Chains A and B, each alone.
Chain A
């Protein structure tokens, strides 16, 4: 008989499910969905309007739109209606003149400048100067230029009114080009693979992950764990604490300390100067030094993590094995090589796999130190995606493109985490509840 669903269980799990759905599942979904849009800070997020601007017409004309259509759109028309009269009154046009206009021409429309001008010249109280006359005409202008149409239907009607007999093709082009909101597109992925920066950033990412992981997270982590294990207790504890600091220090403080350490007048520069070595901004001054610093900044945190994990694994090796090996006459190195390292195989694999994922997607430390510089030499994929979408100084944030970049990371992350779960057999931790009521 199947165990029945526990009402209490549903109640207890629902807050978790709700939060995870909103802030985990939905974002992942949205990353996928919006990577197929051109959403950016200029399109806005919640949709847009239809606006035909003179610039747009210029561009369309260059792309070969019928000159007649362009002209018709550019041309202003005039109509004498309540709105126009009110606007003219507000613009301090002579009231007597306006009264005459209203009496004679109310409800009429004029297709061109000259028609309206001719009509106005018939009126007795018209202004003498042509300039004043033009000023008086302006409030009656009806144009599609620079008008925000909230819906496609309104824009279509207005354009059709202006350009009689516009072709369907041209109407479609006008409508799509004049839309200011975001639209669906697959361009983002095209852009990604066409850009020469892309491959460079991918190469950077691979270099960064591989180097940091092997040198620091695994090798240094192991070295620290093994040495602190063998050192006298107090001495070992001191080094353990030193190496815990990078892990527990808030990231801003940690990153800016590195800046202090390697900046123009920073410790390293000054020390190098005193020793007669080249003294410059080591963090951004040269590509080699920038990479060294970036890898060290992240590597120290990684080594900290590795040390904690490996130390735990080391302590779980039965001490009798080590005693036995000493009785057998093994040197310390042989003990490490033949007894300890083989038993750390799984922790090493674990650190390697999980830290690959975490290095692949981390950008905070690089962002706060070199920020990918000098140039884009230390820019990695995650940082570039973050900056494209959410943080750059030019101010134009390209959410769609950034999402497309993040989507790749999400996909890789999802794949790797599923593989790791199988690899480390997390599934075995799922057991059936024993109380069946």
Chain B
């Protein structure tokens, strides 16, 4: 297109609006390798020892590797549950004859639009009654379940886009519906599975409220909890440089995944209705 406008005013406005983000994130990055005296704007000296929490378990961050492993297990479990249940459920919703199919589908759509955070009190009670309160399994199941309407909906969309003829050809070729799903249809929705899996993993990786509230005393500490402990300025021994460093450590996997899978994730971010 022709450039019939001057871009500099626009860039200037954009820079101004983006300033808080740019400042926050650059200081976040800067804080990991420098120290800043309280009350100063600019860092005073280079300091790599902010990273000492990686091998020193006596910092406020505790043993970071255990927390990292916990977070990975947490996020991966959520991903696996969301993927398997959405992959099967979405297929059934998209392609198979079920009683009350319309009703169930609109139910799932309502749940998809419905803000699940409002359910946390009810979820708390359910966990109390089932004895899953203060267990990581409980939190994982809750987090995965709250993501399910979204997952099923997204997967149903991907299944809907697979031509019916592939499915028809499969049954003509003598394959059972299960074989058709497993060997012919699943490979066609791989893009959807990858995107949903990444999304679920990132969502699990960043989760804070559910483990904090539903498993408050559990030993299975995830990074978000650790980070909140380190970063709470109301605490006596708080250290913002340590917080920034742990924060960067915590966010790096997210950024890496995002850089590599940006396009796949954008589809699903756009398709998701929740911000």
Contact = CB atoms under 8 A, between A and B. Distances in A.
A and B touch in the complex (CB under 8 A): yes
Interface of A: 3-6, 8-10, 12-13, 15-17, 19-20, 22-24, 26-31, 34, 45-46, 217, 220, 223-224, 227, 230-232, 235, 239, 242-253, 256-261, 263-265, 267, 270-271, 273-274, 296, 300-302, 304-306, 308-309, 312, 322-323, 326, 331-332, 350, 354-355, 357-358, 360-364, 367-368, 382, 385-386, 389-391, 399, 402-403, 406, 409-410, 413-414, 416-418, 420-421, 426-427, 429-431, 433-437
A323 B121 contact: no
A231 B7 contact: yes
A178 B102 CA distance: 50
A248 B114 contact: no
A344 to B, nearest CB: 14
B118 interface: yes
Q: Which of B97, B99, B243 has the most CB of A within 10 A?
A: B97
B273 interface: yes
Contact of A23 (B141, B202, B224): B141
Interface residues of B, number: 107
A259 B233 contact: yes
B84 A364 contact: no
Given A10-B98, A332-B5, A15 B85 contact: yes
A238 to B, nearest CB: 9
14 contacts: A6-B96, A6-B177, A15-B85, A15-B88, A20-B108, A23-B141, A242-B21, A242-B22, A250-B208, A252-B227, A260-B233, A305-B269, A354-B274, A390-B121
Given A8-B178, A250-B250, A435 B168 contact: yes
Interface string B75-116: 000000100111011011101111101101110111101111
Contacts of B65: none
A418 B110 contact: yes
B95 A433 contact: yes
Given A6-B96, A250-B206, A435-B168, A258 B21 contact: no
Contact of B24 (A258, A302, A431): A258
B21 A300 contact: yes
A296 B7 CA distance: 26
A3 B97 contact: yes
B191 interface: no
A23 B24 contact: no
A270 B125 contact: no
Nearest to A363: B117
Contacts of B144: 19
A437 B177 CA distance: 10
B111 A20 contact: yes
A232 B7 contact: yes
B247 to A, nearest CB: 4
A270 B141 contact: no
Given A257-B28, A271-B41, A312 B111 contact: no
Interface string B231-275: 111000000100110010011001100100000001001100111
B152 A250 contact: no
Contact of A417 (B113, B117, B125, B164): B113
A220 B17 contact: yes
Contact of B247 (A23, A257, A391): A257
A31 B122 contact: yes
A358 B115 contact: yes
A229 to B, nearest CB: 10
Contact of B92 (A12, A230, A323, A435): A12
Interface in B110-152: 110-111, 113-126, 128-130, 141-142, 144-146, 148-149, 152
Contacts of A426: 106, 109
Given A19-B145, A331-B4, A358-B115, 19 more contacts: A16-B85, A231-B10, A247-B275, A248-B255, A250-B205, A250-B208, A250-B224, A250-B227, A251-B209, A257-B28, A257-B247, A259-B233, A260-B244, A296-B20, A354-B113, A357-B113, A368-B228, A390-B121, A430-B102
